[in-house]
Chains A and B, each alone.
Chain A
Amino acid sequence: MNSPYLAKTPSVTEIMAKVLLALIPAIAALVWFFGPAILVSLCLASATALLCEAAMLKLRKRPVTPFLMDGSALLTAWLLALSIPPMGPWWLIVTGTAFAIVIAKHLYGGLGSNPFNPAMVGYAVLIISFPVQMTQWLAPASLAQAHLDFSTILHYMFSGSLPSPLDAYTSATPLDTLKTQLHLAKPITEIMTLPIYGKMGGVGSEWVAAAYLLGGLYLLQQKIITWHVPFAFVATIFVFSGIFNLYDPALHAGPFFELAGGATMIGAFFILTDPVTGPTTPRGKLIFASGAGFLTWIIRTYGGYPDGVAFAVLLMNICVPLIDAYTQPPVFGKKK
C-alpha cells in the first residue's frame, strides 16, 4: 500500500445510488399522474440491464460482483425507461436496454470507456426503428378515456391486447402535439388551450419535470454533480426559446414551456451530467451543455423528431474529447 493512506469520497456505488434516489420523486409523479405502467417498465429495464451486464462481464472476463454493484447498469436502465413511453410492448424496453448495455456500453470498453451515453443510444435506436410505438405515450390519467389498472397494463405489455382500443389510453406528448398543431398552422395561443396543456407544460408532465428538478437540486446539494451542466443547458434553451418567442409568439412556444416540456429537466440533471460521456473541465462542461441545449432547441423547432435531447446529447458526446483538449485550465504558476 502506498500514500495517500487516507480517503474520503463516496464510492462509485454510492454516487450511482444517490442518482437513483434522486429519480424517485419523478417516478412517484409519473405513477401519480400516468398510472403504474412506468413501474412495470422500470422493472423490465432493470432486469434486462442487470442480466446483460452480468453476461457481458462474464464474456469480457471481468469480476461480476463489483461491477454489478456499481449501479451504473441500473442507472442506464432507469434513464432509458423514463425516456420512452411507459406502456410499450415488453420487447421495446428490453431491446432498448439490451442495446444500451451490450453495444453502447460494453462493446466500447465498459464502465468509464464508452463515448456515448448508453441510455441515449438505446433511445435513439428505438425511435429510429420503432417510431410508432415510441410516440404512443400514456395520456394523463385525468384525461384518458378509459381507466388502466395493473393487470390491464401487464396484459397489454406482454400480449398486446387491450379491452378498449389503444387510443383510449394514449395521446401524443405535449411537445409532439405542439409540432403537429403548428403544422396545421394553428397559433400557439390556441394550441395551448388544448386539454393536455397545463399551467406551464403538459398536464402531469409539468409536475414530473418539477420532480426531476427537485432530484437535480438534491444531487447538486450532495455535490454529485456541479452546477455547470444543468445551468448551461437550461439557460441556453431558455435564451433561445425566449428570443424566438418574443420575436413571434404565435410560432414559438415560450421559454417556460420548453423547460417544463419534454426531457429538458431529466436531460439537464440526469443525462447530460453523466460523467463518463461528458467533459471534465468546468469550461468544457459549460460548452458541452450549451451546445446540447442549442441542438435540443434546434431539433425541437425545426427537426422531424418531437424531442431533441437524445440526439443533442449524442452529437455533443462526439465532441467531448475535442472540448476537453481545448479547455484545459492553466496549470499552477503558468497562468497568463
Chain B
Amino acid sequence: MRKLYHFNGGVHPPQHKSESTRHPIIKPPLPEKLVIPLHQHIGNTAKPVVSKGERVLKGQKIGRAEGYVSSAIHAPTSGTILSIEQEPVPHPSGLRDLCISLEPDGMEEWIELQPVDYLNTDPSTLRNRLRDAGVVGLGGAVFPSFIKLNPSNRKIRTLVLNGAECEPYITCDDMLMRQRAAEIVEGAKIMRHMLQADEILLGIEDNKPEAIAAMKAASGDEMEVVAVPTIYPGGGAKQLIRVLTGIEVPAGERSTDLGVQCFNVATAASVYRAVRYGEPLISRIVTIAGNVANPGNYEALIGTMIDHLILQAGKNEEENVAIMGGPMMGFDLPSVRVPLVKATNCIIVKSEKLFPKRPAPMPCIRCGRCAESCPADLQPQELYWFSKAGNFGKAQEYALFDCIECGCCSYVCPSSIPLVQFYRYAKSEIWAQEREKKASDLARIRHDFRIERIEREKREKAERLAQKSAKAGSEQE
C-alpha cells in the first residue's frame, strides 16, 4: 500500500452520483445548429480562419491559436458556417462573446487525419500537434495542455492523473474511466514520454469502485491506481498532489518546479486521440443531472446547445435554470440557450427542492468553522472582513490569491454568508486595478515621450534658426 498524505479541512457534501451512472455514455443525435465560441480556454481568443458561408469538414480547424497561451478550435462536424458573431456563451457574466455558428450537413465527413507515432517524434512537434488539436484541460480549468507538457529544467518525477472527481453530481470522469480505461492509459503513456516522468499515479476517490477496478485492469504495470479517501475538494489538483505525493504546491508556483505534473483523466484520453488518430478535441463527455427525468452522461459535440442536451435527458416541468459545473464551484448559466464548451463537465438542472434557497446572511460570529474547513489553510473570516470593507491590500496579505474558491467555507458558515462571492469580487477588483495600473503606466511613458519629443523639436527648431541667423550674419559681412 502506498502511503497517503492528508490535507486540512474539506467537507462531505451529499454525493448524488449514483443517479447519473445508471447507464453508459450516450451519444445524442446531431443537433441542428452548433455555436462554437472562439474563447474556450485560458489565454488568448482563437482567431477565426473560415468565413461565412464556407463549407467545413469535421475536425477542420476554424480558429487558430493566437500567441503562446492559446489553443485551436475545430469544426465538430461537417457543414456550413452560418455566421461569426457575438453570441451568448456559458459565462457567469451573461455577456456575449465571439462564436462561429455552424449548420451540420449530417454527412459527418472528416478531414484527412494524421496520426503520429509519438515514440519517434520529438516533444516539441508533439506539443505543436496538441496545440493544433485544441487539447486543453478537461477538468474545468481548460488550460492549454501543451504548455503543461513542456518540462521545465527540473526533472519531473511523478505524473499525477486526476480521476478523483470530488464534486457532487459530476460523473463524467467516472464513466470515462469505466468505459475507456485503455485510452486513458495510452494517453498517460504519451504524457509520461513527453515529460520524461518516472512514474504515473492515478488518484480515484474510493466512492468509485467500478472505475478503480476498470483502471486497475487496464493499467498493467504502466501506472499505479490509488484509491484516495472521498472528501471534497480531494480532486483539486493541489489537494490530489498532496494526498498522493505529500508535496504541497504553494499558490503562484508551478508544480513542475517541485517535480510533479497533474492532468485530468479526460485530458489524457483526448491527448491519446489527438496523437494516435490525429483527432482534434471536438466533443466531450458531460454529465446532465439534477432535475431531469433521466440523468446520465452524454458525449456531446462542442457547440451543442445546452437545452438540446437537457431535452435528451428528459426535461422536467419547471423553470429552466441550470448550473454549469458542480454545485460547489459551478455557476448559474445565464440561460440554457448557450453552447457546450470544452470546460462544461456537468450541467445540473436546478429545482427548489434540490437547492433550497439559503437564509439571508447574518453577521459573522467568528465561529471559525470556515477556517476549519478551508483546504488552503486560510482564515476565510478575515478575508471576508477585508474584502467586504474593500481593503484589498490587506486581503492579499491574508493570502486571498491562495484561495481556490472551493466553497467549503460558505458550505459550513452558520451565518450563510456568501463568502466565496466576496473573494471572487475582491479578486476581480484587484485584477481590474492591475489592468488600470498597467494602462496608466503605459500612458505615463507615452506622455513623457511626447513631452520629450516636443522639447526636442523646439530645440532643433531653435538650433536651425540660430544657424540660419548665423549664416545670414556671416553673409552680410
Contact = CB atoms under 8 A, between A and B. Distances in A.
Interface of A: 1-12, 14-15, 66-67, 70, 72, 110-113, 226, 275-276, 278, 280-281, 324, 328-335
Contacts of A3: 323, 325-331, 407, 420
B248 A4 contact: no
Interface of B: 7-8, 11, 13-14, 92, 168, 238, 242, 248-251, 253, 323, 325-332, 350, 355, 357-360, 362-369, 371, 375-379, 381-382, 398-399, 402, 407-408, 410-416, 418, 420-421
The dominant DSSP class at the A interface is loop
A269 to B, nearest CB: 15
A111 B253 contact: no
A70 B414 CA distance: 11
Contacts of B415: 11-12, 112
B375 A332 contact: yes
Contacts of A333: 238, 248-251, 253, 402
Contacts of A276: 365-366
A318 to B, nearest CB: 16
A257 to B, nearest CB: 33
Nearest to B370: A280
Contacts of B398: 328
29 contacts: A2-B331, A3-B325, A3-B326, A4-B329, A4-B420, A6-B13, A7-B412, A9-B411, A9-B412, A9-B413, A9-B414, A14-B414, A15-B414, A66-B362, A111-B363, A111-B365, A280-B366, A280-B367, A281-B371, A328-B379, A329-B377, A331-B250, A331-B251, A332-B242, A332-B248, A332-B251, A333-B248, A333-B250, A333-B402
B365 A12 contact: yes
B410 A7 contact: yes
The dominant DSSP class at the B interface is loop
Contacts of A72: 365
Contacts of A329: 377, 379
A19 to B, nearest CB: 12
A226 B415 CA distance: 18
Contacts of B364: 112
A328 B402 CA distance: 14
A331 B366 contact: no
B335 to A, nearest CB: 15
Contact of A6 (B92, B367, B411, B413): B411
A10 B414 contact: yes
| CB-based closest 7 A-B pairs | A333-B250, A4-B407, A112-B363, A333-B248, A280-B368, A275-B367, A5-B327
B262 to A, nearest CB: 14
Contacts of B411: 4, 6-9
Given A5-B330, A66-B360, A111-B365, 9 more contacts: A2-B92, A3-B326, A3-B330, A7-B412, A112-B366, A226-B368, A280-B379, A331-B251, A332-B378
A12 B250 CA distance: 34
